[in-house]
Structure 1
Amino acid sequence: MISPAAIARIATREADRFRAANSRAFAHHAAATGWFQSVPFHWMKDWPSPVPIVAAAAKDATLTSIDNRTYDDFCLGDTASLFGHSPPALAAALAKQANEGLSYMLPTERGAALSQRLAGMFGLPQWQVTTTASEANRAVIRWCRGISGRSKILTFNGAYHGAVDDAFVDLKVGVPTMRGSLIGQVHDLRDTTTVIEFNDGAALTEALRAGDIACVLAEPVMTNVGMVRDAPGFLHKLRSLCDETGTLLVFDETHTISSGYGGHCVTHGPTPDLMVVGKSIGGGVPCAVYGFSAAVAERIADLNASRPPGHSGIGTTLSANALAITAMDAMLTDVITPAAYDHMLRGAARLVAGLEQEIATADLDWHVTQVGARVEFLTCAAPPRNGGEAKAVMHPELEAAIHLFLANRGILLAPFHNMMLVSPVTSDEQIDRLVGAFADCTKALKE
């Protein structure tokens, strides 16, 4: 057990250490008054440091700041750079495309090959491109409502689907509640969103057999409240119930692409009707894709044929721009490969073993969870079974103190929780440095 006094002591000490070592970051923050809160986007304020580290460059799995500090990067842009910063094949393809035009609102020759690569990797035959995974999730929800004639969707408490309003419904003491952090929401989302706990087979059966759910929008493994693994058989029960009730199954694999080549659904099953992949698919270039089965494609075509002409509410001018197509084609051709995953999974296993050893040495009732190349340590004794349990055991003050301790020793974790990513270019030495710094942190917290 880590005492509140120890957490406060480490947090204060590490904040002072950060201030002493990052003078240029503080000067940058003070000068950037034209940005609201001094950052271009508010996520950048979520790091536990007194001000955000200011990036100067990043390559492979290493980031350098304007204060000339070098970091082993296990955040990797919160999955956007899961396969490393600026892979050579991607950088070369982008440089070439930059001289040939960036956005035409027309298809390109690369695009035909890319669609086949997507189908081959993820196992669904039809694809569309958007600018973000949030936009892809919105499109998928619209299509599912349109082709099913049903208005409701089902999500799981604590799941992450980007900035999609429909998913901002939580359970509080078992009662559906619109998330208080959602700004400017004027419609009651509970009329069209059903929310239950992950791994609750009975609640899932009851909700789907009501017959009014257009789609289940799910992460195969929950990733925004720590990580919550699927209970044995739960995803296959979900697939079976969707088939029974005529409900479309959507997997958002934006984060669980870490599971293995083809994502979680190819690595472990089952196959969804539609899926979304964002962030890492373009190596950090803003783009995302959604894919769907031949049966869904036929229903979408029939729906389109029955509608009058006009904007469908799906897509933007920059959807599928030439730069995004080039980025994804380069990534799927040369970077996101089975060999890359072999390296990632070996490295993740090394990281898990190291963290578990140090947790045991420190006699802490913590545990480590892994989804392929995605690893987290949770500061609780047993793995949570659902989002409600995961939220209840989170310890933001302790996590922030650990993150800042590690950052001061050249290790970057994702700022939102204790997430670490192992890329194809993450070295054993970087993993061992992380484990060593983690050991030093647990010792300091127990002094």
Structure 2
Amino acid sequence: MSIDRSRLRDLLASERAEYARRNPRSRELYDAGEHLFGRVPMTWMNKAAGGFPLGLDRADGARVWDLDGHEYIDFCLGDTGAMAGHSPAPVVAAVAKRFGELGGATAMMPTQDAEWVAAELSSRFGVDRWSFSLTATDANRWVLRLVRAITGRPKILFHSYCYHGSVDESLIVCDDSFDGADRPGNVGAPVEVTRTSRVAEFNDLEGLEKQLAQGDVAAMMMEPALTNIGLILPEPGYLDGVRELTERYGVLLVNDETHTFSAGVGGATRAWGLKPDIVTIGKAIGGGIPIGAYGISSALAESLLARSDLDLIDMGGVGGTLAGNALSLAAARATLSEVLTADAFSRMTALASSFTRGVQDTIDRTGVPWSIAQLGARAEYRFASPAPRNGSESVDAYDADLEDFLHVFLANRGVLMTPFHNMALMCPVTTEADVARHTELFAEAVDLLVGPAS
């Protein structure tokens, strides 16, 4: 079943016109942003299927309201940052107490919350020593410095079209050459990326071994499932093969669980019994307050702390003034102890399964050549069948007009998806009714696309 492109363009134009009609105050906000680079607080906010972003009025739980008074079921949830839901009550209370009653949010002093959060993360992810940042990007950057110091090797290996924030070394993709190339659109790269990095396709153990065998790789940094280029799950045996190859070639393995935390209470690392040397995470563990963290094994921690040549205290490149601040850690303790619990993940995963079934039912009924994948509390549909198995195949499956049509169609009817892809995330207060509403609208949208002949 192919999509009539002329029909798609007409439907997209109609939905964009309705979006503009519905949202005059959001448009006014956007047009008034003369002193903002790109008219938005951060340029990625210009990824808006309707032509301009919705302006935020307020948010609560699994709902957001825009400046024009429209209420939305929020399946975006801050692209994982609000996995706990918007402003969960235990986090609000902890933040109010730390920032208001107790003060000292930026006092540059440790608190009791820090050890509690580190112990909880150790229990969930299986690595013993933790340090904190303000973002997962920073946690990843600092880890890369540490692994080069430990191994004495210069390069880091990544999957093509991976996502580890704006880490310079990670912006590498596979091409026709053995070395790879800069990711298209990379802004102001400090050096040619092949000087710092190697690359292999996800789910390709043969290609991975060829890169590791060069002997210059300090660590492999990976998401256990690719998430930001579309959700791509590991094939059977792939992750076991990654661990065997990294150990064989003396390469440290780093699991970035920032998005794959959706797999369960201890992310994919715990859900799939993985044994990385290092884990990084961010966003979700703060319940809406910025935080990141990295955890390393006891052996690695001891070897680093014993090094007199490494400046781990002042200007060594592994810290920041606000990293590990009291406010972030109070929020993380409340989130992990009271919100993103094992029971919550069980319920969120069940909702994502319902979401997945609803989408698959429409795909099967209409015959559109699409697919859907699920990772715990997260699900995502792609315009390809079978589903892409690596980042390059996922890029080839991208369809800007189809994606924009679905996003603006849903937004016009009160449902928000993650703007950069077709990802839906469940939070502890998402409901079956929320999922059912998406199922209904998704079916309606696809029926419009395929036309009455279906």
Instruction: Give your verdict on TM over 0.5.
Output: yes
Superposition pairs of residues 4-403 of structure 1, within 5 angstroms: 4-99=5-100, 100-173=103-176, 176-303=180-307, 305-307=308-310, 310-403=314-407
Q: After superposing the two structures, state which structure 1 stretch, 11-20 or 293-302, moved more.
A: 293-302
Partner SS for 2:281: strand
C-alpha deviation, 1:290, in angstroms? 0.4
| Structure-2 separation of matches of 1:335 and 1:51 | 33
Of all paired residues, the percent bearing the same amino acid is 36
2:91 maps to a residue whose letter is L
Pair 1:174–1:407, CA change in 2 (3 A): farther
| Structure-1 separation of matches of 2:387 and 2:84 | 27
Q: For residues 231-263 of structure 1, what are the alpha-carbon distances to aligned partners after superposition, in whole Å with 9 as ceiling and x for unaligned?
A: 111111111111122110001010000001100
Partner SS for 2:59: strand
Moved over 2 A (4+): 172-175, 305-310
| Structure-2 separation of matches of 1:36 and 1:201 | 42
| Structure-1 separation of matches of 2:153 and 2:193 | 15
Number of aligned residues: 446
Q: For residues 103-150 of structure 1, what are the alpha-carbon distances to aligned partners after superposition, in whole Å with 9 as ceiling and x for unaligned?
A: 111101222222211111221110000011110000010000001000
Q: After superposing the two structures, state which structure 1 stretch, 139-148 or 383-392, moved more.
A: 383-392
- Aligned residues of 2:370 and 2:387 also touching (Cα < 8 A): no
1:144 maps to a residue whose letter is V
Q: For residues 158-211 of structure 1, what are the alpha-carbon distances to aligned partners after superposition, in whole Å with 9 as ceiling and x for unaligned?
A: 110000000011113455111232222231120220011111111112222332
C-alpha deviation, 1:37, in angstroms? 1.8
- Aligned residues of 2:349 and 2:377 also touching (Cα < 8 A): yes
Structure 2: which 5+ residue stretches go unaligned?
none
Partner SS for 2:174: strand
| Structure-2 separation of matches of 1:329 and 1:36 | 35
TM-score, normalised relative to structure 2: 0.96
C-alpha deviation, 1:76, in angstroms? 0.3
TM-score, normalised relative to structure 1: 0.98
| Structure-2 separation of matches of 1:8 and 1:105 | 54
C-alpha deviation, 1:328, in angstroms? 0.6
Q: After superposing the two structures, state which structure 1 stretch, 15-24 or 95-104, moved more.
A: 95-104
1:172 maps to a residue whose letter is D
| Structure-2 separation of matches of 1:424 and 1:399 | 27
| Structure-2 separation of matches of 1:91 and 1:307 | 39
C-alpha deviation, 1:286, in angstroms? 1.1
Partner SS for 2:306: helix
- Aligned residues of 2:310 and 2:316 also touching (Cα < 8 A): no
C-alpha deviation, 1:409, in angstroms? 0.6
C-alpha deviation, 1:307, in angstroms? 3.2
1:236 maps to a residue whose letter is D
| Structure-2 separation of matches of 1:297 and 1:387 | 33
| Structure-2 separation of matches of 1:307 and 1:16 | 58
